[in-house]
């Protein structure tokens, strides 16, 4: 697999499946940001990676207004549905904002 950006944003990354996704992504990239409100996920699933400094963890509820934007998501309002959707930026809609700013 060719991984060009070298960065990944994993929502629900403290969950059973999410944490295994993080394990796999760590084989392919070095910058991983995890967002999870720990409502059902467990910090222990990713604690080793946090302790090793190999992931950036944010405990946050993605349904809280402003949180998605602050964490590097593009929030769009599809005209057909008329309500905001928060989610990872699809390539065609990607904003110019770097979700992993260096400063």
Ligand X SMILES: NC(=O)c1ccc[n+]([C@@H]2O[C@H](COP(=O)([O-])OP(=O)(O)OC[C@H]3O[C@@H](n4cnc5c(N)ncnc54)[C@H](O)[C@@H]3O)[C@@H](O)[C@H]2O)c1
How many residues at the interface with ligand X, by CB under 6 A? 16
CB of 33 closer than 8 Å to CB of 55: yes
Min CB(101)–ligand X separation in Å: 21
Q: Is 17 in the site for ligand X (CB under 6 A)?
A: yes
Instruction: Name residues contacting ligand X, limited to 45-64 (CB under 6 A).
Output: 61-63
Q: Is 99 in the site for ligand X (CB under 6 A)?
A: no
Environment class of 83 (CB within 10 Å of its CB; exposed 0-12, middle 13-18, buried 19+): exposed
Q: Is 72 in the site for ligand X (CB under 6 A)?
A: no
> Using CB under 6 A as the criterion, what x/- string covers residues 27-46 for binding ligand X?
--------xxxxxxx-----
Cα atoms found within 13 Å of the Cα of residue 57, Cβ hemisphere only: 25
Residues within the interface to ligand X (CB under 6 A): 12, 14-18, 35-41, 61-63
């Amino acid at each position: 697999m060719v991984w060009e950006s070298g960065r990944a944003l994993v929502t629900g990354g403290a969950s059973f499946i999410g944490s295994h996704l993080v394990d796999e992504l760590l084989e392919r990239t070095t910058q991983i940001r995890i967002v999870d409100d720990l409502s059902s996920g467990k910090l222990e699933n990713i604690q080793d990676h946090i302790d090793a400094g190999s992931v950036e963890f944010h405990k946050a509820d993605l349904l809280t207004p402003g949180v998605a934007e602050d964490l590097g998501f593009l929030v769009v309002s599809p005209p057909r549905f008329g309500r905001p959707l928060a989610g990872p930026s699809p390539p065609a809609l990607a904003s110019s904002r770097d979700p992993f700013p260096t400063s």
